[in-house]
Amino acid sequence: MRLVGAAGEPVNSRQPIIIDTDLFSDVDDVGALAVANVLHSCGLADLKGVVLNTPSNYGPLAASAVCTYYGNDVPIAAFRPITNDTFFDSFDYLYSEYASKLAHHWPRTLKSASSTRTPTELYRTILSSADDKSIHIISIGFLTNLANLLKSEADHISHLSGLELASKKVSELIIMGGEYPSGWEFNFGGVDPESTAYVVQHWPRSVNITYSGAELGGNISSGQNLVQRCPPNSPVLSAYQWYVGRGSTTRLSWDPITTLYGVLGLDWGSKLGIRPLLDYGNESGYNSIVAANGSNAWVHDTRITNQHWLRLADGVSNHSMAALLDEFLTHDPSLRSCLPYGMLAENTKDIPIFAEI
């Protein structure tokens, strides 16, 4: 079944996206790539590229394995310098490594991380050939690559600087980072708070920014029924099994939620046939980095209306969002069909539908 709008017409509009991911440690990056690839295959997203903001050799290879599983050959850029690091959970001593396993045991179109362009090169290449004000950048990790893009100068790829390319070609930057209205979060402060401050301060004022905070995805657990519902050859299933362990595949949902918004925005009715499960938590103002450790605070300013942070829409439960995400995580690409949102699975029955499709 093709994805259809609320009026029953096929949806053919693709939102061009670039995903900037720290796929290496937490498995929700795999969930985010699953969301992006399913929406790409269904004609709602145009996944132009995936850039890594962590240096492990296994991150880009694992990203390629996930994209290949969904039948998509997506350009990937490896962070430099490339290392052979594997993940070890030195924070909670609970979670396990999965990226090297995906890289070694699943088919992938990318042969080596060293053969890829740098993140700045891939950003500049995609943006230089894009239509004006067309690209959504979805940042689900550290902001190092975005800072480097903004600092980049004109070159053989484009006569425009990185700041000029972002201003001309990007319609919205979506960032999983920070806490709202204020707080500290790992993507902002855990590794490269200097780049966080640079991006938040120097991003073009004319380009929309939407933030997905720790408090949103950190209260929504998805992936509970992957064993029962995923195809046995799914790298998503295996990654969640390896990472979470102890017989569970349930994980918090920061990055999948951010990616879902990054493609759909708040226009879910014409694209999914359901009312949006997300809304903005503010009408005006802007984000500010208030400490060297990357802590942020929302500044109320009625003059600024193109920066927002996300929350669940009124009347939407954590379970409703988790159930919808599970439809993406468990989707079988061999079916060669899109998610049948007009006939949602039993575990999504409480999601409010606009109309029967």
The answer to whether 167 touches 204, Cβ cutoff 8 Å, is yes
pLDDT the model gives residue 271? 86
With respect to residue 5, please indicate whether it lies within any of the assigned structural domains.
no
Q: What is the pLDDT of residues 152-168, one digit of tens each?
A: 999 999 999 999 999 99
The answer to whether 115 touches 101, Cβ cutoff 8 Å, is no
User: Does residue 348 have a pLDDT over 70?
Assistant: no
Ramachandran region, residue 273 (left: φ > 0; alpha: ψ -120 to 50; beta: rest): left
With respect to residue 285, please indicate whether it lies within any of the assigned structural domains.
yes
Joined together, the tokens standing for residue 345 give 């699975």
φ and ψ at residue 160, rounded to 5 degrees? -95, 150
CATH number at residue 226: 3.90.245.10
> For the chain, what is the domain count?
1
Q: What is the pLDDT of residues 208-219, one digit of tens each?
A: 999 999 999 999
pLDDT the model gives residue 334? 87
With respect to residue 75, please indicate whether it lies within any of the assigned structural domains.
yes
Q: Tokens 């029924």 label which residue?
A: 225
User: Does residue 7 have a pLDDT over 90?
Assistant: no
Q: What is the pLDDT of residues 55-110, one digit of tens each?
A: 999 999 999 999 999 999 999 999 999 999 999 999 999 999 999 999 999 999 99
Q: What is the pLDDT of residues 168-182, one digit of tens each?
A: 999 999 999 999 999
Question: 264 is in which domain, residue-wise?
Answer: 15-339
- Which has the higher per-residue pLDDT, 13 or 226? 226
With respect to residue 9, please indicate whether it lies within any of the assigned structural domains.
no
pLDDT band at 327 (very low <50, low <70, confident <90, very high): very high
The mean pLDDT value for 332-355 works out to: 59
pLDDT band at 343 (very low <50, low <70, confident <90, very high): very low
With respect to residue 45, please indicate whether it lies within any of the assigned structural domains.
yes
With respect to residue 345, please indicate whether it lies within any of the assigned structural domains.
no
